[in-house]
Chain A
Amino acid sequence: MQIERLVAMANQIGDFFGAEPDRGEAAKAAASHLRRFWDPRMRTQIVAHHQANGAGLNDVARAAVELLARNEV
């Protein structure tokens, strides 16, 4: 899938959960959302993108994908 599209979707999720002042909680909630609602191939792709350089991901999305990458959600 187009990585730009996945990044945009992940950032939207990050934006919503970014309203939580605790950055750690925000990242966990966003990661949980990705885990529960994204098909594995989409998760694999966003994790790979993050591990390459993560270009375009906002802070919460980046932290969430990091949790996914570490399988901590």
Chain B
Amino acid sequence: MYAKDYHDRGTPESASRTYVTVEIDGVKVEVPEGTSIMRAASIGGCDVPKLCATDSLKSFGSCRLCLVEVEGRRGYPASCTTPVAEGMKVRTTSDKLTQLRKGVLELYVTDHPLDCVSCPANGHCELQNMAEQHGITGTRYGLDGRNHQHAPIDASNPYFQFDQSECIVCSRCVRACDEVQGTFALTIQGRGFGSKVVASMDEGFLASECVSCGQCVEACPTAALTEKAVVEHGTADAAVTTTCAYCGVGCSFKAETKNGQVLRMAPNRDGHANHGHACVKGRFAFGYATHPDRVLTPMVREKITDPWREVSWEEAIAHTAKRFREIQARYGRDAIGGITSSRCTNEDVFLVQKLVRAAFGTNNVDTCARVCHSPTGYGLKQTLGESAGTQAFDSIMKSDVIMVIGANPTEGHPVFASRLKQRVRQGAKLIVVDPREIPLVRTPHVEADVHLQLRPGTNVAVVNALAHVIVTEGLAREAYVAERCEADAYAKWKAFIAQERNSPEAVESITGVPAERIREAARLYASAPNGAIYYGLGVTEHSQGTTMVMGIANLAMATGNLGREGVGVNPLRGQNNVQGACDMGSFPHEFSAYRHVSDPVVREMFETMWGVPLQSEPGLRIPNMFDAALDGTFKGLYVQGEDIAQSDPNTHHVFAALSAMECVVVQDLFLNETSKFAHVFLPGSSFLEKDGTFTNAERRISRVRKVMEPRAGFADWEVTVLLSNALGYPMAYTHPSEIMDEIARLTPTFTGVTFEKIDRLGSIQWPCNDKAPEGTPTMHVGEFVRGKGRFLVTEYIPTTERSTTRFPLLLTTGRILSQYNVGAQTRRTPNVTWHHEDVLEMHPADAEARGIRTGDWVGVTSRTGATVLRADVTDRIQPGVVYTTFHFPESGANVVTTENSDWATNCPEYKVTAVQAVLVTEPAAWRMSHDVHHGDEFAVGSRQ
């Protein structure tokens, strides 16, 4: 069932801009052409009875409850399937209509339990509402006939159940799975009385193709498909609208609570990013917030080999401030720094970077975006003038050709992937550029027109070859380029890209992609009326990550695919607030809105507002912090909401660096890999415990609203305030809205943004300024942010990480649907049902040569380390390449990744590591030692 406070208008909104006027029950209503009578009536204030209709799905016309009378027409048409027409006169109530509806309802009730009072959907069931509305308390036909009262309940899914006895076979679940989610996992099996909702081949929800997005549950009008939490506790008594804390789609949810506890997260149909859709993580995996592993008391210890000692907040904060000041006194001002988190709010992030710059007095602040999308910020700023994606997610519904590069949205950004698949099913063409056969390459009713299955590390060669075809075959939109881009830079780039060495034929042996495939893709993209590019970490996490981002921008500019709906360059951000963390001035070289610290005008503005002198030199980036720690010049670190010991590459190097520091402060929900090296642990607060904002991948600023009080007593921003005060730099905020007010005053792209304004508009896409007071869904309209677009020469330079005789395979990494990043949250939910360990995907040819079969232990060795994973032999991956995820610390995926990084930003080259893989009989030595260490840490949890 949809969110409790939602007003369902029955059928979707019409996109027409032509309006017609109709009269419904004597009231004149003006609606867009194509609107159903049902929707028009609802807008006019009269909701027609319905059961099979809901406004997230196309009208279906099966329940026959929404019948109306139309003047001049015979019969009783279904209002959901009948569009309005100019001058139409409709009656939604009459004795005859009531009689017809009662008859239908009586038939439904004959095969439905009359247990409303004890039903989990009591008070929030559409059948119950309809029956009550029509005075149906029983049925003339009796209840002795055949029925489904004793049909078995399918409770296989950990989050929801299917109770056939409650099902009215309205097909809303099946249609939701098809139309919205695009998985096509459900169907109605059988006919007549035997009709039954089944998952896949009637194998139960868990074993089926169902991806547990919960859309069927959201669509169900009765208790047939219900969250188990609702079955157990009943319906909610309150709801708070907030924003998901998982991926960069930033879905809006109604956090429904009962007695102050979160009961369920109901996707918000008014949510601008998700329009009522959700995935298995955001919809269901919120239980980590109340998991017993949460650390709720601050802890300190002198040495990392000591056991933790629980202390008061006062002691923990005072201890931290003292230690940081001692380190600065001994080693210098720049011997400490901080790391902000993309899992925290804009307000949390802004305060941490302010703490570092103003209270620590250094620019040694960085963010976890360093290891994911920092090349996006640099590459797009240099070419287009702004470090952000160009479109709203809705833009894809106007795309004719969609190119997905180095992203796996089905797993990483599922709600966006569903929109993408909807558009492809409508006829848009799809190009996938990925070393793996990701699900988008071939999935129900969606098949990529071209899959460029390149070798890892050859992105730039491919994007150059695509551009070569566009330029040499005369497919560039010269008039657009002449009007919108720098002529000299274009001429230089054009001369470079047209060189034969960039042709698809010349790079075929490098990329492994047949030249003709690249030509086909280039022609498809360049000839599209609207061509859009979406990309992910498969673009950025390379030694040439920034070059590839520039190459993508070049491609879009050359084909005129920027500055309107349906086109654009769109980074899919991995975490919910990657965009926001970057916007808020988390990088060591720039203040909020990407302004360099050396700019005296900008710096003076911050100095005036903050009342302290600020440094004009860039600080250390995360990898530089590690190097400096090993060098003895960096000794103290404040890490908020980021597990760098698990997520950063070359684990041994990170461990050594953290071990070399004298004061590591971790602020997080749980003890984690990094806290093994920490001297202070400050309990963090989940997104359910604080107010603030997140900014998603489409630059959309959405509210995060407190659903429950911070479990450890303080929200994250309050802890930063306490620390700042203790360091002698007072902060006087009483609410995160005041932090946003300060952000707005200091950040040109956030001009006028306030909590009140976001509350009023629902969300705002920055830039928000005097020209666009309600935000900017599409960027670079008319001209680029930097004025003229700038083409940059993107020479392909092979990574030094190459396969060799010793390390003949290339390891690349990615994500899986049910888990999120380092897994700290999702591993503590029933999502482990689907993915309880990371595995190594290997092509059958490589596996056979090594005697490896699915399920075997495989030792994976690189030049930096070794780990062991279970094998999954599959042809999703090409020969010579292996693949794994990094959601479980014991997998040690980053033990084998190297310190190689992007030339411009030091973003690690996670996507290419030369490895050897061999059959082993037991976990590798590293893994065993890791398990011991892991055990120690939580034994240390025998806190004093």
Q: B-contacting residues of A (Cβ < 8 Å)?
A: 1-2, 5, 9, 12-13, 15-16, 18-20, 33, 36-42
Contacts and interface: CB of A to CB of B under 8 A. Distances in A.
B627 A2 contact: yes
Query: Interface SS of chain B: helix, strand, loop or mixed?
Result: loop
Listed residue (A13, A15, A19, A20) with the most chain B CB atoms within 10 angstroms of its CB = A19
B443 to A, nearest CB: 37
Interface stretch (B559-567, B616-624, B697-705): B616-624
29 contacts: A1-B624, A2-B627, A2-B631, A5-B899, A9-B901, A9-B903, A12-B903, A13-B903, A13-B904, A15-B795, A16-B546, A16-B547, A19-B794, A19-B795, A33-B904, A36-B589, A36-B596, A36-B598, A37-B589, A37-B618, A37-B905, A39-B364, A39-B617, A39-B618, A39-B619, A39-B620, A39-B621, A41-B628, A42-B624
Contacts of B905: 37
B778 interface: no
Interface string B584-628: 000011000000101000000000000000000111110010011
Q: What's the interface size class on B, roughly?
A: 20 to 34
Interface string B348-380: 000000000000000010000000000000000
B904 A19 contact: no
B729 interface: no
Contacts of B620: 39, 42
Nearest to A5: B627
B624 A12 contact: no
Interface string B195-230: 000000000000000000000000000000000000
A20 B904 contact: no
Contacts of B588: 39
A37 to B, nearest CB: 6
A41 B633 contact: yes
Given A1-B630, A16-B797, A41-B633, 13 more contacts: A1-B627, A2-B630, A2-B631, A16-B547, A16-B904, A18-B795, A19-B793, A19-B795, A36-B596, A37-B905, A39-B588, A39-B618, A42-B624
B47 interface: no
B906 interface: yes
Nearest 4 pairs of A and B residues by beta carbon: A12-B903, A19-B795, A1-B627, A19-B793
A18 B797 CA distance: 11
Nearest to A39: B620
Contacts of A19: 496, 793-795
B627 A16 contact: no
Contacts of A33: 904
A70 B496 CA distance: 32
A15 B793 CA distance: 12
A38 B618 CA distance: 6
A41 B334 contact: yes
A41 B334 CA distance: 10
A42 B92 CA distance: 76
Contacts of B546: 16
Nearest to B792: A19
A20 B493 CA distance: 10
A55 B827 CA distance: 48
B731 to A, nearest CB: 26
B543 interface: yes
B598 A9 contact: no
Contacts of B794: 19
B706 to A, nearest CB: 38
A32 to B, nearest CB: 11
Contact of A39 (B624, B901, B903): B624
A9 B906 CA distance: 8
Contacts of A15: 795, 797, 903
Contacts of B619: 39
Which has the most chain A C-beta neighbours within 10 Å: B618, B628, B794?
A: B618
Contacts of B627: 1-2, 5
A37 B904 contact: yes
A37 B899 CA distance: 18
Contacts of A40: 617
A37 B797 CA distance: 21
Given A1-B631, A37-B589, A16 B795 contact: yes
B624 A16 contact: no
Interface in B853-909: 899, 901, 903-906
A38 B470 CA distance: 36
Interface string B532-560: 00000000000100110000000000000
A42 B618 CA distance: 11
A73 to B, nearest CB: 12
Interface string B902-926: 0111100000000000000000000
Contacts of A5: 627, 899
A42 B620 CA distance: 9
A11 B366 CA distance: 23
A62 B624 CA distance: 21
Among A12, A16, A38, A39, max chain B CB count under 10 A is at A39
A46 to B, nearest CB: 12
A12 B800 CA distance: 10
Contacts of B618: 36-39
Nearest to B793: A19
Given A36-B618, A39-B618, A20 B793 contact: yes
Contacts of A41: 334, 628, 633
Interface string B17-49: 000000000000000000000000000000000
A19 B546 CA distance: 14
A2 B589 CA distance: 22
A1 B628 contact: yes
B699 to A, nearest CB: 24
Contacts of A42: 620, 624
Nearest to A42: B624
Contacts of B596: 36
Contacts of B364: 39
